[in-house]
Amino acid sequence: MANRIFASPSPHIHGGESTRRIMCDVVLALLPALAVSTYILGLRVLLITAVAVASCVVFEYLINRFFLKRSSTIGDLSAVVTGVLLAFNLPVGIPWWIVVIGALVSIGIGKMTFGGLGCNPFNPALTGRIFLLIAYPVQMTDWTTGVPDALSGSTLLADVKYNTSLLSEVDFLQMFGGHMNGSMGEIGALALILGGLYLLWRKVITWHIPVTILGTMAIFAACVGATKGGALVWELPLFHILAGGALLGAIYMATDYSTSPMTHKGMIIYGVGIGLITMIIRLWGAYPEGMSFAIFIMNAATPLINKYCRPKRLGTK
Amino acid sequence: MNTLVLTVLTLGVLGILLAVILYFVAQKFHVEEDPRIDEVEKMLPGANCGGCGFAGCRAMSEALVTRDNIASLFCPVAGGETMKSIAGYLGKVAPDKEPMVATMRCGGSCDKRPKVNHYDGALNCAVVNTFYVGESACAFGCIGYGDCVSACKFGALHINPETGLVEVDADKCTACGACVKACPKGLFELRKKWPKNRAIYVACRSKNRGAVVMKACKAGCIGCGKCEKVCPFGAISIENNLAYIDHKKCKLCRKCVNECPTGAIKIVNMEPLPKEPKVAPTAKSESKAEETK
Amino acid sequence: MRTFPIGGIHPADNKEWSKDKAIEQLELPNEVRIPVVQHIGAPANPIVAKGDKVLTGQLICEAVGFVSANIHSPISGIVTAVDSLPNGQGQRQNMIVIKREGDEWIEGVDLTPKLKRECNLSSSEIIAKIKSAGIVGLGGAQFPTHVKLSIPEGQRAEILIINGVECEPYLTSDYRNMIERGEMLLTGVEILMRAIGVERAVIGVENNKPDAIAHLNTIIARDNYRGIEVMPLKLRYPQGGEKQLIAAVTGREVPPPPALPISVGAVVCNVSSAIAVYEAVQKNKPLVERVVTITGKHLQSTHNYMVRFGTPTSTLLELAGGLPEGDVKILNGGPMMGRSIVDITAPIIKGCSGITVLSGAEAARGKEGACIKCAKCVAACPMGLEPYLISKLARLQKWDMAEEHNTIDCIECGCCSYTCPSNLPLLDYIRIGKQTVMTNIRARAAANNNKK
């Protein structure tokens, strides 16, 4: 027969979406923040990111090859995304070998133990970051090594929390542009927002999670600010949204598919939860920043949220 | 010192308190259970395959202990001997059951049954069966995506990559019947298990007319009836253009094998009878010739 | 502009290939094969035998029971066989083979093109005529139309919805019908309104067919069709699904199965079916032909043909210049819900609104990946289900859980598989789940009945 006749159940066409394209989009969306970071903190940013990406990809390949004995999954680029996000969660001065350990925990424990992409209950990059934060607290909060002199010191969140500087001294314009201390990926607020808009436009993420997280944080901060007085009412919400990992977490980490709820209703509950927990840790907890813990905790709640937040069945109320 | 004493005391009191609570809870929620259920469960193979029709070995042993008549209960994995010993333990009568083996009744290998289209959907026989006949023109043959293989808990089935057909490892098969349920084309049958895993069966399920079968597959049963005529035990019947060998009547005499014009009758672990020279081979004279040997 | 409330996708509509091709009368086939099942419900009972002479429009299969449909001979000639022959999917079905001798119609059929608008028949007379003409849903579902129109005791129809959505990509047969046979359509709608006793009918048309909307509106204004409104709907697949269309037009949602559209007072009928109703009631013409689109990017020519049932699919393919080179997928219907055809000798039947030919590359399924829980299928499902979950449950054969997750609501529109970035064959498995759960539910009902 000259032509082969194909047969399959319907549908016979596909929308053209692919996991790889989605992951590519996420990496693309993260590039502006990477550029800002490199511009401010220097070329070491690229080095650390490269180490993180390379080790994530290599670990995933090796685990697939030798432990799970299945065909490689690095082609879907999800390991690249994990690598970039992990790097974005680290201070620029971190020794390279800590980055490799972080990648091993991210991919090895955070992702592949559970069966790889789509099966992990916790965001792999966050798993790596939290592990490092607890295992190497000194290196993970060292915001001075390898940083231009103008920026040395502690993060703004810590400054404000421990009252070494006042909120009224904060320059919001600089926060937008990236002139503040922190992990590599969290300092370029404007770049992160741009990337988020790109993801929204490409329909990689929906607005529900980022908006509810940031909204909850803003409202919570405004309420606290109103009771405290001192700072202008609009300053505290804006400060909390721009400072620390709020944007990075809300737009890129919390929206991780497999660890966030499936329905819009669930996403809103999840987002509100993250916002609340973050603010509670930031204002009253032991750490100056609570984003990663908040996402981690709500990741754990995701299966429960999925169970109770089912989509609205057509024809029911 | 004070701290130490306090700690030991607290923990001790807590322990005693919890133990007391536990004791009362255990009393309150105690369920009386026939101890023989545990014993019978130990005697069963513990495969939890569901081949008996119950949810697992535990459910089966409960049924064995509680029911008066256990003639209808049978564990295909354990086999007749074990069932007898269980019945003896319980003082009941076990049914006599012959060992069985799953048999896949399709001989349409890749070379015998050409593909006429290319399937591009989910690799699952049931999915194929939801919308069309499959890649060959035969609507009854093995689809070859292995629903039965994944249903088999004993690793007794595998797909031969050369023929594209499922093969049964008779030594591993426990006749639990999972494959019979899994195959959407109903190709499996539990047949009598002969010594040395010998077998004779019609490897075709096509109810189509002979001409249609021949067009789709060179190894199919065309319902010609030659085997029916030659069988000395009346074990072979033709229904809907399809021959069926009753495994309860068949004595493995192999006369039918040489009669079959398409080779649809499969013979396993046995040599076929030597072929007679083709001099006016009527069914009767041939069978007589065999007898005189 | 209105549309249905949840889910949906926007596949490229690809209608430009055939939408401007006027309906052509296909040359009558020399031999037809008529399956006795061309509808949902009990197979019709053949009442002719080998050697019988039949006329065009003569009843050859009688409906068995209420949910069933008559089948008429589409040509005149001699019955040469009543035999089990393969359908498009290679499955053998009982078919009547007729060899053509001329085209002699039965008596009483008005074949003149003149529009006959006046209708004074009662509701039950109209439904009886529709039933005897063997009309089924020509949108693809093939549900007997007279069953739909017979409103159950205690319920009342409030609105007639005519489905002119044709949301399925590629297909243009309904569109051509609206453009070329608008008067017949509107008269058919009037008759249907009379049959179910409603004052209002809405023809839902997606806004990618503005000329059809304008054309129908012109006729309505010119010839004074009362109570009929053409409603433009926002382009979105699967708007043509019965429940989706009702929700889009009325804003009312039909409750989950086993509730029927009539529970919200709606009766839905396809555009082509409405024209068939007109022909049956006003012209006494049984359902023996329909408009079939033959389309595809790689075909030499595309057409909209008026085809007598039983014509081999291969005839249409030949007229379109034969199958293109290389791998092909031939579909009975469009690419979202159409069925793969593997045997091109198979006949065109009542539910076949088009033959779509895709190249292997267009239709090829991508490599399956892992579910990344992106929830795109959940967002796309127009029934508000969780396709990723049901699909997995069906794959694991957890039928009870699949039932709890409302598998039987699925309308098999294919939005989930279409949207999945991991190329998972979600619908393939959901379909098994749906079938098994339906079987289980029926078995339970039967067991309950036995107990009583």
Residue of A nearest to C415 (CA): A11
Residue B283 confidence (pLDDT): 46
- Residue-wise pLDDT for C203-228, tens only, equals 999 999 999 999 999 999 999 999 99
Verify whether the Cβ–Cβ distance C382 to A314 is below 8 Å. Answer: yes
What are the pLDDT digits (tens) for A169-212? Answer: 677 777 777 767 788 888 888 999 999 999 999 999 999 999 99
What's the rounded mean pLDDT across residues A302-306?
94
Residue with tokens 């253009």: B241
Beta-bridge partner residues of B103: B189
Q: Are residues A133 and A219 in the same domain?
A: no
Task: Please indicate, yes or no, if residue A317 is contained in any of the structural domains.
Answer: no
The pLDDT of residue A2: 57
Query: What's residue B285's pLDDT?
Result: 44
Under a CB-based contact definition with an 8 Å cutoff, are residues A14 and C417 in contact? yes
State yes or no: pLDDT of C135 exceeds 60: yes
CB C336 within 8 A of CB C241: no
CATH classification of C15-21+112-283, choosing from 3.40.640.10, 3.40.50.11540, 3.40.50.10610, 3.40.50.720? Answer: 3.40.50.11540
Q: C331-361, pLDDT tens digit by residue?
A: 999 999 999 999 999 999 999 999 999 998 8
In this structure, are A155 and A133 located in the same domain? no
Q: Hey, are the CB atoms on A4 and B117 less than 8 Å from each other?
A: yes
* Residues A281 and A161 grouped into a single domain: yes
Q: Show the low-confidence residues of chain B (pLDDT under 50).
A: 280-293
Which chains pack against B, by 3+ Cβ pairs within 8 A?
A, C
**The 3-state secondary structure of chain A, one letter per residue:** CCCCEEECCCCCCCCCCCHHHHHHHHHHHHHHHHHHHHHHHCCHHHHHHHHHHHHHHHHHHHHHHHHHCCCCCHHHCHHHHHHHHHHHCCCCCCCHHHHHHHHHHHHHHHHHHHCCCCCCCCCHHHHHHHHHHHHCHHHHCCCCCCCCHHHCCCCHHHHHHCCCCCHHHCCHHHHHHCCCCCCCCCCCHHHHHHHHHHHHHCCCCCCHHHHHHHHHHHHHHHHHHHHHCCCCCCHHHHHHHHCCCHHHHHHHHCCCHHHCCCCHHHHHHHHHHHHHHHHHHHHHCCCCCCHHHHHHHHHHHHHHHHHHCCCCCCCCC
Query: How many residues does this entry show for chain C?
Result: 452
Q: Does some domain include residue A192?
A: yes
Cβ-Cβ contacts under 8 Å for A128 (sequence gap 6 or more):
A82, A86, A89, A102, A103, A105, A106, A110
Average model confidence (pLDDT) for chain C? Answer: 93
Q: Which of B132, B140, B153 to mutate to test the interface with C (most CBs of C within 10 A)?
A: B132
Q: Which residues of A touch C338 (CB under 8 A)?
A: 10, 12
Q: What is the pLDDT of residue A93?
A: 87
Residue C208 exposed, middle or buried by CB count within 10 Å (0-12, 13-18, 19+): middle
Q: What is the rounded distance in angstroms from the CA atom of residue C372 to the CA atom of residue C390?
A: 15
Chain B: give the shortest CA distance to residue C432, in Å.
6
Cβ atoms of residues A168 and A21 within 8 Å: no
- Say whether C375 and A119 touch across the interface (CB within 8 A): no
Domain end: A139, A172, A187, which one?
Answer: A139
Instruction: Compute the nearest-CA separation of A127 from chain C (Å).
Output: 18
Using CB atoms, list chains with 3+ pairs below 8 Å to chain C. Answer: A, B
Residues A217, A190: one domain?
yes
End-to-end distance of chain C based on CA atoms, in angstroms? 51
The whole-angstrom distance between C66's CA and the closest CA on chain B is 26
Given a cut of 60, whether residue C178 has pLDDT beyond it is yes
Same structural domain for residues A173 and A33? no
CB contact under 8 A, C89 and B133: yes
Q: Tell me, what's the pLDDT at A146?
A: 66
Do A132 and A159 have their domain in common?
Answer: no
Q: pLDDT tens, A109-151?
A: 999 999 888 899 999 999 999 999 999 988 888 877 666 665 5
Phi then psi for A176, rounded to 5 degrees? -60, -45
Interface pTM (ipTM) of the complex?
Answer: 0.89
Measured between CA atoms, how close is C3 to chain B, in angstroms? 31
| H-type alpha helices, B119-231 | 125-131, 147-151, 178-182, 210-216, 226-230
- What integer pLDDT is reported at residue A165 of this predicted model? 63
The range of the structural domain enclosing residue A101 comes to: 19-139
Q: How far is B135 from chain A (nearest CA, A)?
A: 8
Q: What is the pLDDT of residue B278?
A: 52
In-domain check, residue A1: no
Cβ contacts below 8 Å, chain B against chain C, sum to 50
Q: Please give the single-letter amino acid code of residue C106.
A: I
Nearest residue of chain A to residue C360 (CA atoms): A6
- CA-to-CA distance for B193 and B175, rounded, in angstroms? 10
Instruction: Please indicate whether, in this complex, the C-beta atoms of A8 and B116 are within 8 angstroms of each other.
Output: no
Could you give the 3-state DSSP secondary structure of residue B233?
A: coil
Q: In what order do the strands lie in the sheet with C92-100?
A: C31-35, C92-100, C77-86, C53-54
Instruction: Name every chain A residue with its beta carbon within 8 A of the beta carbon of B121.
Output: 7-9
C291-363 CATH fold:
Ribosomal Protein L25; Chain P (2.40.240)
pLDDT at A234: 60
* CB of C335 less than 8 A from some CB of A: yes
Q: Which of B118, B124, B139 sits opposite C91 (nearest CB)?
A: B139
Of the residues A107, A139, A171, which one is the last residue of a structural domain? Answer: A139
pLDDT value, residue B289: 43
Same domain, A168 and A228: yes
Q: Is B20 exposed, middle or buried (0-12, 13-18, 19+ CB in 10 A)?
A: exposed
Alpha helices (runs of H) in C240-285, residue ranges in sequence order? 242-250, 271-283
Distance from CA of C184 to the nearest CA of B (A): 35
Please answer yes or no on whether C369 and A76 come within 8 Å at the CB atom: yes
Distance, in Å, from the CA atom of B148 to the CA atom of B127, rounded to the nearest integer, reads 13
Residues of C in contact with B132 (CB under 8 A): 89-91, 339-340, 342
Among candidate residues A119, A139, A159, the one where a domain is terminated: A139
Q: Which residues of C touch B121 (CB under 8 A)?
A: 365, 425, 428
| pLDDT (0 to 100) of residue A187 | 82
């078995």: which residue's tokens?
C443
Q: List, in order, residues 6 or more apart from C447 with CB less than 8 Å away.
A: none
Both A117 and A164 in one domain: the answer is: no
Residues contacting residue B229 through CB under 8 Å, at least 6 positions apart? B259, B283
pLDDT, tens digit, 9 for 90 and up, residues B118-152? 998 899 999 999 989 989 989 999 999 999 999 98
In this structure, the number of other CB atoms found within 10 A of the CB of residue A91 comes to 21
Render pLDDT for A71-98 as a digit per residue (tens, 0 to 9): 888 888 999 999 999 999 999 889 999 9
- Tokens for A172? 């919001």
Cβ neighbours of C253 in A, within 8 Å: 314-316
Q: Rounded to 5 degrees, what are φ and ψ at C31?
A: -145, 140
Q: Residue A131 falls within a domain, yes or no?
A: yes
Residue A297 has what pLDDT?
Answer: 95
Is the minimum CB–CB distance between C427 and chain A shorter than 8 Å?
yes
Q: Say how many residues make up chain A.
A: 317
pLDDT confidence tier of residue A153, bands split at 50, 70 and 90: low
Task: State yes or no: pLDDT of C313 exceeds 80.
Answer: yes
Q: Residue A144: inside a domain, yes or no?
A: no
- List of chain A residues whose C-beta atoms are within 8 Å of the C-beta of residue B116: 1, 5
Q: Which two tokens stand for residue B112?
A: 């015998």
Query: Which pLDDT score is estimated for C336?
Result: 94
Going A160 to A165 to A171 to A175, the CA torsion angle's sign is negative
| C268-310 pLDDT tens trace | 999 999 999 999 999 999 999 999 999 999 999 999 999 999 9
Sign of the alpha-carbon dihedral angle for C332, C336, C340, C344: positive
Domain residue ranges of chain C, discontinuous segments joined by +: 15-21+112-283, 29-100, 291-363, 376-451
**pLDDT confidence of C389, banded at 50, 70, 90?**
very high
The confidence score (pLDDT) of residue C33 equals 95
Q: How high is the pLDDT of residue A206? A: 93
* Residues A198 and A226 reside in one and the same domain: yes
Rg (CA), chain B: 28
Residue C428 has its nearest CB partner, among B117, B122, B208, at B122
Decide if C309 contacts C347 (C-beta within 8 A): yes
pLDDT of C100 reads 93
The residues of A whose Cβ lies within 8 A of any Cβ of B are 1, 4-9
Listed range (A155-169, B259-273, C429-443) with the worst mean pLDDT: A155-169
Evaluate whether residue A316 is within a structural domain.
Answer: no
Here the tokens at position B19 are 């133990």
User: Which residues in chain C are closer than 8 Å to A208, comparing Cβ atoms?
Assistant: none
- Angle CA C203–C205–C210, to nearest 5: 125
How far apart are the C-alpha atoms of C120 and C99, rounded to whole Å? 38
Which pLDDT score, from 0 to 100, does residue A244 have?
83
pLDDT band at A164 (very low <50, low <70, confident <90, very high): low
- When CB atoms are compared, the residue of C256, C365, C386 closest to A8 is C365
Shortest distance, CA B186 to any CA of chain A (angstroms): 21
Q: Is A314 within 8 Å of C247 when comparing Cβ atoms?
A: yes
Q: Is B103 helix (H, G, I), strand (E, B) or coil?
A: strand
pTM of the model: 0.88
At residue C232, the pLDDT reads 95
Q: Is residue A313 part of a domain?
A: no
User: How far apart, in Å, are the Cα atoms of C31 and each of C92, C143, C347, C391?
Assistant: 18, 26, 10, 43
> Is A9 a residue whose pLDDT tops 50?
yes
* Strands of the C228-233 sheet, one edge to the other: C228-233, C201-206, C159-163, C266-270
Q: Residues near C331 by Cβ (< 8 Å), separated by ≥ 6?
A: A12, C338, C339, C340, C341, C355, C356, C357, C358
Mean pLDDT of A282-294: 88
Structural element, H or E, at residue B267: strand B265-268
Domain count for chain A, please give it.
Answer: 2
Give me the residues paired with residue B243 across strands: B238
CATH code matching the domain that covers C29-100, chosen among 3.30.200.20, 3.90.1150.10, 1.10.3720.10, 2.40.50.100: 2.40.50.100
Q: What is the pLDDT at residue C424?
A: 94
Question: What would the pLDDT profile of A206-261 be if each residue is shown by its tens digit?
Answer: 999 999 999 999 999 888 877 776 555 566 788 888 888 899 999 999 999 999 99
Question: Can you give the pLDDT at residue A233?
Answer: 54
CA distance A142 to A99: 14
